[in-house]
Structure 1
Amino acid sequence: MTVHSKLQPYIDAWTHSIEAISEMVTPLSEGEWNRATECPGWSVRDVVSHIIGFECEALGDPRPIHSLPRDLYHVTDEFSRYCEVQVDVRRCHTAPEMTSELEYTIIRRSRQLRNETRAPETTVRGLMGREVTLELQLRMRAFDVWVHEQDLRRTLDRPGNLDSPGGLVTRDFLLPQLPKVVAKEAGAPAGSAVVFDVHGPVEFMRTVRVDAEGHGTIDGSVSLGPAVTLAMDWETFVRLACGRVRGDAVGDLVKTEGDQDLAAAILGHMAVTP
C-alpha cells in the first residue's frame, strides 16, 4: 500500500518546510539561537524546540516530565503551558544538541510518513491528548511547521518560500476562519460584506458576507459596495492571522476602504491561532 492521495500533499508540504528549517538553523552560531522571534517569549531555539517536541509527540514519544518556571509571562492558559513544556526543557541545549536532535527527529518522522498506510479518517492522538483524524493531524503539522519556518526567516533575515506548498496549506486553513472574525469577533452588521484583497506570492480575493441572522460565509465572488475592503500583502495577512503582529502595528501595510471602525475591529481580531 502507498500513502493515501489525500495525505500526500500535507506530507510533501511538511517535508519542504522542515527541511528548509534544518538548512537554515544548522550553520547558526550559539548567539543566533537566542534571537527573539515574533512568537511572544520564544527565541529561535524555542521555535525549533517546539517543532521537535510536537513531531516527537506525533511519533508517539512520551512527553517530558518537567515543571515550568512561574515567571514565564507568555504562558497564560492551559494550551500555552502544554506547548511550553517541550520548549523549556530544551532551553539549556547547545546549538549542536539542537541541530542533532532536529536532524534525528526529521529522519524518524520522515520514515514514519513515508510508510504511512492508514486511511485519512483514522483516529490518532492529537494535541493535549485529544483524538483527531490522521488527515487533520498532518494538515495541522504542515501548517504549523510552515508558519514557524516563516517566523525563523523573518528573525534571521532569510526571506523565502512564501508560496511553497506549506504556504498554500496555510492559505486553505486560514480562509475558513475569516467569517468568524468578521461576523462574531468584529461584529459586522447583518447584511454587510467585507472584502479581503491579498496580493504578493499568494494572491486571492475573498468576500465574507454576514446574513440576516449574523452568520458569516466566505466566497470568491466580487461584492458591490462592501462595508469594508482590506488590502494587504500575503506575508502581512499571515502575520495578522497567526497573531504575530497587531493590526495597529501594520497600518502602513494595510489599505482600508469603507467603515474605518469596522476595519479596525476586524484587524484587531484577525488572530485565529492560539
Structure 2
Amino acid sequence: MTDPTVDRTELTGLLSQQWDAIAALVADLDEERWRTPSPLPGWSLFDVLAHVVGTESWLLGEIPPAHDPIRPKTDVKALPHVRNETGVLNEIWVDRLRPLSGKRLLELYREVTDRRREALASFGDTEWQAETVSPIGKVSYGRFMRVRLFDCWMHELDLADGLGVSVDEGGPRAERAFAELVPSIGRSVAKGAQAPDGSRITFELTGPLTMTLHVAVDGRANIVDVLDAPATVMVGMNSGLFTRLRGGRTTADEHAGEFTISGDTELGNRLVRNLAFTI
C-alpha cells in the first residue's frame, strides 16, 4: 500500500541537508575534540558520527570492517547501554571504526553519504514503497527514511550539545524529525507516568518548534486535537528540552526551572520524568 505521508523528493532533500549540517558542525574539529564525550552513554563525538557512518553503510549493503587483532576485542553485548540487537550492530560499527582518526572518519562520512544520495536518487516509487525491516518494524522504505532523518537530526543535536554550541533547531528538517517524537507519547503518559483514567494532559511547547499537544487517558492514552474537559495538568517547556527528554539525552532533574507545571503537580512531575522513549 502506498504511504501518502512520505514524499520521496521532499524527504531525500531533507536527508541530504541533514547530512550536510552534520558535516559542517564537525568540519574543523581537532583529534582531541573528536574524543569529547557526547550526551549518549559510552559514546564520544567521534562515536556518534561513526554510528551514522555505520548505519548509512549498512543501508548500502556493507558490513562492519574486520576487527583489528592488535586491539582488545570488546564484548559489545555486555555494555550497559546496549539493550537489543540493533544496539549490538550499532556498537560493532562504532567499535570497528574507532581506530580511525577524526579526519579520516569525516572523509568516510562524506563518501558514504554521497553514495547514499546517489542510491536514493536512483529510487523510483516501487523501491520507495517496498516493505523493509526498520527499527520500528516492517514499513515502507520511505517511512524508514523518515526514521533516518529523525535519527540523524537527533545526532546533530548530540554533537552540538557535546561541543557546547547552538544549531538551528527549527525549520522543515526539524519539523519532520520532531514528528517522530509525538505519536508514541501516550505510552510515556500511561505506562511511564502512570496517568490515571480520566486524566487530561496538555503539553505547551515554545520555540523553536511551537505547538500544543493534548493527551486524553481513557483506558489508553491518546493524542487528541481538543480536550473534552479541562486539563488535569499542563506542562510547559521549549521544544529543545522536550526533544532531549523524549530522546533520553537528559533528565528533568538536570533542568529544574526550565519547565512549568500547573494543575496536578504530582502527575506533572511524573510526566516530565518519564518522557524518554529512546536513547
Counterpart amino acid of residue 253 in structure 1? E
Shift of 1:237: 0.5
Residues 174 and 76 of structure 1, relative CA distance in 2, 3 Å threshold: closer
Measured in 1, the distance between the counterparts of 2:101 and 2:192 equals 42
Match in the other structure for 2:267: 262
Shift of 1:63: 3.8
Residues 200 and 127 of structure 1, relative CA distance in 2, 3 Å threshold: closer
Measured in 1, the distance between the counterparts of 2:245 and 2:56 equals 25
Match in the other structure for 2:74: 68
Moved more, 108-117 or 195-204: 108-117
Residues 261 and 64 of structure 1, relative CA distance in 2, 3 Å threshold: farther
Shift of 1:76: 4.2
Match in the other structure for 1:205: 212
Match in the other structure for 1:47: 48
Q: Is the contact made by 1:13 and 1:164 (CA closer than 8 Å) also made in structure 2?
A: no
The two structures have a TM-score, normalised by structure 2, of 0.88
**Alignment deviations for residues 147-201 of structure 1 (CA, whole Å, 9 cap, x no partner):** 1011111222331220132211122111111111112321211111110000011
**Alignment deviations for residues 103-155 of structure 1 (CA, whole Å, 9 cap, x no partner):** 10111011111221133431234359x64320221111110001101111122
Moved more, 81-90 or 220-229: 220-229
Match in the other structure for 2:129: 121
Match in the other structure for 2:70: none
Q: Is the contact made by 2:187 and 2:221 (CA closer than 8 Å) also made in structure 1?
A: yes
Q: Is the contact made by 1:179 and 1:218 (CA closer than 8 Å) also made in structure 2?
A: yes
Percent of aligned positions that are identical:
27
How many pairs does the alignment contain?
268
**Alignment deviations for residues 213-254 of structure 1 (CA, whole Å, 9 cap, x no partner):** x11111232565311111000100000000001122222211
Q: Is the contact made by 2:235 and 2:261 (CA closer than 8 Å) also made in structure 1?
A: yes
Match in the other structure for 1:194: 201
Residues 190 and 222 of structure 1, relative CA distance in 2, 3 Å threshold: closer
Counterpart amino acid of residue 22 in structure 2? I
Give ranges in structure 2 of 5+ residues lacking alignment.
68-72
Give ranges in structure 1 of 5+ residues lacking alignment.
none
Cα RMSD (Å): 2.1
Counterpart amino acid of residue 125 in structure 2? R
The two structures have a TM-score, normalised by structure 1, of 0.90
Match in the other structure for 1:24: 25
Q: Is the contact made by 1:197 and 1:206 (CA closer than 8 Å) also made in structure 2?
A: yes
Measured in 2, the distance between the counterparts of 1:105 and 1:184 equals 39
Question: Structure 2 matches for 1:60-139, cutoff 5 A?
Answer: 60-64=61-65, 66=67, 68-69=74-75, 72-119=79-126, 120-126=128-134, 131-139=138-146
Q: Helix, strand or coil: the match of 2:94?
A: helix
Measured in 2, the distance between the counterparts of 1:77 and 1:124 equals 19
Match in the other structure for 1:170: 177
Counterpart amino acid of residue 45 in structure 1? F
Measured in 2, the distance between the counterparts of 1:273 and 1:65 equals 29
Shift of 1:68: 2.8
Residues 272 and 9 of structure 1, relative CA distance in 2, 3 Å threshold: farther
Residues 131 and 195 of structure 1, relative CA distance in 2, 3 Å threshold: closer
Measured in 2, the distance between the counterparts of 1:186 and 1:65 equals 44
Measured in 2, the distance between the counterparts of 1:193 and 1:127 equals 30
- Return structure 1 stretches of 4+ with deviation > 3 angstroms: 63-67, 69-73, 76-79, 125-128
Residues 131 and 226 of structure 1, relative CA distance in 2, 3 Å threshold: closer
Match in the other structure for 2:57: 56
1:234 has 2:201 as partner: no
Match in the other structure for 1:221: 226
Shift of 1:65: 5.1
Match in the other structure for 1:8: 9
